[in-house]
Amino acid sequence: MRDEVADVRLTVDLGHQRLILTTSVGTVCTYPVSSAARGAGEHNASHQTPRGAHRIRAKIGSNSPIGTVFKGRRPTGEIYSPELAAVSPRRDWILTRILWLCGCEPGVNRFGNVDTMRRYIYIHGTPDSIDMSQPGSIGCIRMTNADVIDLFERVAVGTPVDIHE
């Protein structure tokens, strides 16, 4: 299995709202995503999606039920439902699985006021009612719950992730 995941790469195309999983043999999967409503940018508190070379720092939520709600990278004990959403209509839902990203380019997306990891930028699940063809997050890359589970099983900690416009 180690050799199979060694050549896995992820590319997030912000312009087309797509995440592409490739290996040395070519494209394996393409998923629709929703990135930041404020566009691309690296600065702290910008609520933008950071660009450049990244890697998966941590995988969180293995074997959690679909719809598990996370806060601070920990399950809250809640499972997302329309009723729960009605109680907290402005909540930024982080659901099902988390792939925590770390920037690889000092001064671009790592260290100082442009640090992707310290900004808590993830690839994560979101309510399935969210339109995956439109930017709408506050910086993260959002995916449907089924897609984030599929992706989670295909990648390892350390997998390269390139984010570009």
Tokens coding 95: 């659901």
What residues does each domain of the chain span? Answer: 2-164
Give Cα 46 distance to the centre of its chain. Answer: 17
Compute mean pLDDT per 10 residues along the chain, 165 residues long, and list them. 67 98 95 97 97 98 97 97 93 96 98 97 96 95 98 97 97
**Statement: the pTM of the whole predicted model exceeds 0.85:** yes
Domain 2-164 sits in CATH at 2.40.440.10
For 90-156, give the DSSP string: T----EEEEEEEEE-SBTTTBSGGG-TTTTT-EEEE--TTS-TTS--BSSSEEE-HHHHHHHHHH--
Contact 31, 151 (CB under 8 A): yes
Contact 139, 37 (CB under 8 A): no
pLDDT in tens, 10-22: 999 999 999 999 9
Tokens coding 133: 């063809």
pLDDT in tens, 131-162: 998 999 999 999 999 999 999 999 999 999 99
